[in-house]
Structure 1
Amino acid sequence: MFGVLTLSWAVPMPKDHEGFFDPTILKIEEEKYLGKQVADVEFTDEHGRTHKLLDYIKGHPTALILGYYTCDSACPLIIKNAIEASKNISKDFRGIVLSFDKEDTLRDLQEFKKKLGISPSSRWTFGIMKEEDIKKLSQSLGYRFFYSRQDRVFVHPNVVIFIDPEGKVSRYLYGISPRETDFRIALAEAETFRITKNTIVDIAFMVCYKYDPNTGKYGLNPVVLFAIAGFTLGSFTLAYAFIKRAKEV
């Protein structure tokens, strides 16, 4: 399916024959990168303005997606779904999409946004980078990808990377359909890497949901569920005893 794959950023070469592809070589070794500083690269936004990444995200929890603008499969899905998942979140966060394709241009970026129907008022910033910055950023995130010359596509992880306000990696969320709950929790986790006040909603989500590194998603924390069940049962028991006693009196 993938044809001949071109090596990108120190990824082991495929073995045996040109059709071989081992998806495990794209796995991000999270234990090496969580809590690490991301590379302070430069990117150019759709208006032609240049930004330093760490200056741009400083003071804000950030959701970062790496993709490429000529993609017609996974990239449009994960980006569109991420924007949808984050649209109701009132938290002051940064959403950034950066291309890892050195051939992408600002026109490609603008056409991509137009095709997806992303409005200029979107809270997400889109950008392109030079080759050396692509390399620095992807290496600092543990993000690896291949280019298939035969199929003319990139093979890459589908992941939203969350970064704390000081520029350190706080979470990887995998899949092309991130949920609002996942986004809300991951942003709250990123923000708590510094001393800050969370909203009651964020705290509730962080307590009630537990991150599962095997699936790359959040699920209800069974410990909390049992605790809530116990508390509820205890409350009903106390209420029943109080009412019964009141009747007896």
Structure 2
Amino acid sequence: MRSVLLLFLFLAWPTLAIAQSAVHRAHDAAAAVTAHDHSTTEQAEEALHSGHGDAGLMPMEPLSQDPAQATHSGHVQPEAMPADHSGHGTMAPPAGNVPAVSAPEPEHVHPTPVAEASIGVTEKLGEFIAAEARFFDEDGKAVTMGEIVDKPTIVVPIYFSCPNVCAIIQSSLTAVLPDVKLEPGVDFQVVSVSFDDTDTPELAARQKRNYMAAMDFKYPENGWRFLTGEEADIRVLMDSLGFGFRREGKDFLHPVVIMAVSPKGKIVRYLYGTKPLAFDLTMAATEAGKEQIGLSVKRVLAYCFSYDPEGKRYAFNFMKITGTGILFILVVLLVSLMLAGRKKRTPRN
């Protein structure tokens, strides 16, 4: 038994060192984040108060007594108006013995910082899309999402003038949709929804013709729909999908993801990346038809990968995965040794 404990300590020592190092790194990272947040809060408070202080105490020039003299705005100063500003903020006393009534001073209101739209994906598996959101199809017909989503649907959030990933996603779909082992337009459908409110049904129709031509017009037209809409309806739908985006000039900052939605409008799966596979689309549409919620790939990726802000890319968490594997092996080994020790102690009949 002593040799078993020595062997266990020998194997566990590197893992404990790795875990201790990870704890220190996490502590340092948390301290850095706390310091950054504290600094950000101080900067925000300083910015909010930057327009106050002595602004209300600046001396005002006395009004001109000459009625012929005009201000920069072209208005003539009245002759009877006094130049004394000592009573600024109070009403002039009325005639007679009626006491003057002081006007209430205007309430000082601090401006509220406007929060920027978050960019990214908030998975809402099991929740329902905004069925009431209204859009226009490629023929210019007004439809709601509840009317469109009447079968398992692959929702593709894009915008038609996107020069990069949106075009790559749609081109990738033309390569894999013919290989999906389901009947398009019957067993499932694809719906590309533009989140650019300046896109028009005419542009959507042109996009549809281009992608149908890429598939030699052998793909049924009712198997792939193209929608455009107003900003309010776009926001409602994208918020219900957990799709965060923000306009930057003529372009947008947005994630790269498509969603599988059931005929009842339930979100059942998120598929990330610009090149979905035919197998993934088949499985997602099948799960949507059964109202079955799929695996959250985002959580798996978040555990296995971490974002590198300097390199602006995701890096594989080698230490985390290696440490998890070592701990798992040690637990299995320890359980095996304990079971083996119990078997040796069992008396023979």
TM-score range, shorter chain: 0.5 to 0.7
Q: Is the 8 A contact 2:139 2:205 kept in 1?
A: no
Q: Is the 8 A contact 1:70 1:112 kept in 2?
A: no
Read off the aligned partner of 1:163 and give its amino acid letter: V
Match of 1:99 in 2: 194
Q: Is the 8 A contact 1:162 1:171 kept in 2?
A: yes
Q: Is the 8 A contact 2:270 2:297 kept in 1?
A: no
Read off the aligned partner of 2:158 and give its amino acid letter: G
Structure 2 counterpart SS, 1:95: strand
Read off the aligned partner of 2:247 and give its amino acid letter: Y
1:28 matched to 2:115 = no
In angstroms, what is the RMSD of aligned CA positions?
2.4
- Per the TM alignment, residue 112 of structure 1 is displaced from its structure 2 partner at its CA by 2.8
Q: Is the 8 A contact 1:61 1:187 kept in 2?
A: yes
Q: Deviations over 1:24-44 (max 9, x none)?
A: x533121xx111110011211
Larger radius of gyration: 2
Match of 2:231 in 1: 131
Read off the aligned partner of 2:264 and give its amino acid letter: E
Q: Is the 8 A contact 1:42 1:51 kept in 2?
A: yes
What are the ranges of 5 or more consecutive residues in structure 2 without an aligned counterpart?
Answer: 1-113, 303-349
Share of identical aligned residues, percent? 28
Match of 1:142 in 2: 242
- Per the TM alignment, residue 154 of structure 1 is displaced from its structure 2 partner at its CA by 0.9
TM-score normalised to the size of structure 2?
0.47
Q: Distance in 1 between matches of 2:297 and 2:256?
A: 17
- 42-51 or 103-112, which moves further after superposition? 103-112
- Per the TM alignment, residue 114 of structure 1 is displaced from its structure 2 partner at its CA by 4.3
- 105-114 or 75-84, which moves further after superposition? 105-114
Q: Deviations over 1:148-187 (max 9, x none)?
A: 22xx311111111110111011111011100001111111
- The equivalences for 1:68-87 within 5 A come to 68-87=159-178
Structure 2 counterpart SS, 1:55: helix
Bigger fraction of residues in strand = 1
Structure 2 counterpart SS, 1:87: helix
Match of 2:149 in 1: 57
- 61-70 or 44-53, which moves further after superposition? 44-53
Q: Is the 8 A contact 2:194 2:229 kept in 1?
A: yes
The 1:35–1:51 alpha-carbon spacing in structure 2 relative to 1, beyond 3 Å, is same
TM-score normalised to the size of structure 1?
0.64
- Alignment equivalent of 2:204, drawn from 106, 109, 130: 109
What are the ranges of 5 or more consecutive residues in structure 1 without an aligned counterpart?
Answer: 1-10, 15-24, 195-205, 217-249
- Alignment equivalent of 1:161, drawn from 256, 259, 283: 259
- Per the TM alignment, residue 215 of structure 1 is displaced from its structure 2 partner at its CA by 4.0
Match of 1:197 in 2: none
Equivalent residues, number: 177
The 1:175–1:67 alpha-carbon spacing in structure 2 relative to 1, beyond 3 Å, is same
- Per the TM alignment, residue 113 of structure 1 is displaced from its structure 2 partner at its CA by 3.3
